[in-house]
Amino acid sequence: MARELLTARLERKECISEVAQCYHFTFVIDELESFPFTAGQFVSAVAPDANGKVQTRAYSIASAANGNKFELCVNRVEEGFFSNHLADLPDLPIGSEIQIHGPHGHFILHAPITDSILIATGTGIAPMRGYLQWLFPAEGQDRSNGKQIWLVYGTRHESDIYYQAEFEALAARVPNFHYLPTLSRALESWTGLRGYVQEHVERILSVRAAGLGQPFPAPAPDPTTPTAELNFEIYAYICGLNEMVSGVRERLTAVGWHRKQIVFERYD
Ligand SMILES: Cc1cc2nc3c(=O)[nH]c(=O)nc-3n(C[C@H](O)[C@H](O)[C@H](O)COP(=O)(O)OP(=O)(O)OC[C@H]3O[C@@H](n4cnc5c(N)ncnc54)[C@H](O)[C@@H]3O)c2cc1C
């Protein structure tokens, strides 16, 4: 069945890292009064390539639902068709259009909200930004229920820590949000965390367990409980390229995490 295509008009485009060639986009769907979605979902963007073949690519929505707007965070992939098509959309005069369908996907926060560790690399930050806007809106009711939310963000260089100022401001405003960017190729001047995201997740969990007086690793859930009935006090949400996602899943499994506690989205 053909999916209903929506036309999204570019309202704002900003290069957020020259080095990584990463762009932030705001689109408006003029034909809709509102474009409802759950934070963490994606849209499918559709366009013909140079041979007239229709190409479709998924892009996580980098914002929480906001009227008829949605935001994306996309980096150019070498030789890639769609990422370059988006990155090349003219920003002036503003008003280029793209076709999309959606929202789609199940990479959404578990309800009710629990302590959560958000782990991302590169543009895998997009759905995390959506979660954080939804959990901690600038105006209106905080939806975090006072639960602890960690964002562990891995990238190579300081120049490609996307939305750094925004997350730092959020961490300064909200005591239960913890922002942990980590660099794999940091300069000597970098005073923050170093290495890959995997290396930090376990430490965060062991410190949390110690603070709560809980054993670490946690004991496995009762095997007689049906999986559908399992609920956990903490969930992990992982987004990025497969290699990182698999690495983090392995680490979490090694410290006794149940697969149901690990929610993930792979970009490749
Ligand atoms: C659910 C979902 C959500 C996604 N959300 C985002 C998002 O928010 N932002 C974003 O930038 N991308 C996102 N992606 C990836 C996106 O869909 C495309 O795969 C990416 O933009 C490359 O498309 P392309 O047409 O430019 O390259 P293609 O022409 O499809 O591929 C060119 C080459 O690059 C490789 N490649 C494909 N994807 C990547 C990648 N992400 N990084 C490095 N190499 C790659 C391919 O294996 C291929 O060899 C998401 C993917 C999924 C499945």
**CA-61 nearest atom, ligand 1:** 8
Rounded CA separation 236/251 (Å): 12
3-state helix, strand, coil in the chain (%, to 5): 25, 30, 45
Look up the pTM and report it. 0.96
Q: Tokens 């970098």 sit at which residue?
A: 190
Tell me, in angstroms, the distance from the centre of ligand 1 to residue 86's CA: 12
What is the bridge-based pairing of β-strands 193-194 and 234-240? Answer: unpaired
Return the amino acid letter for 41: Q
Ligand 1 neighbours, Cβ below 6 Å, are 42, 57-60, 73-75, 77, 79-84, 105, 123, 126, 241, 265, 267-268
Please return the burial class of 254, using the count of CB atoms within 10 Å of its CB with bins 0-12, 13-18 and 19+. exposed
Nearest CA to ligand 1 atom 43: 77
Q: Dump pLDDT digits (tens) for 208-266.
A: 999 999 999 988 888 899 988 898 999 999 999 999 999 999 999 999 999 999 999 99
Q: Dump pLDDT digits (tens) for 60-109.
A: 999 999 999 999 999 999 999 999 999 999 877 777 999 999 999 999 99
Beta bridge partners of 44: 58, 101
Q: Tokens 């987004």 sit at which residue?
A: 239
- 3-state per-residue secondary structure call for 83-133: HHHHHCCCCCCCCCEEEEEEEECCCCCCCCCCEEEEEEEHHHHHHHHHHHH
Q: Dump pLDDT digits (tens) for 130-156.
A: 999 999 999 989 999 999 999 999 999
Tell me, in angstroms, the distance from the centre of ligand 1 to residue 20's CA: 14
Rounded CA separation 51/62 (Å): 30
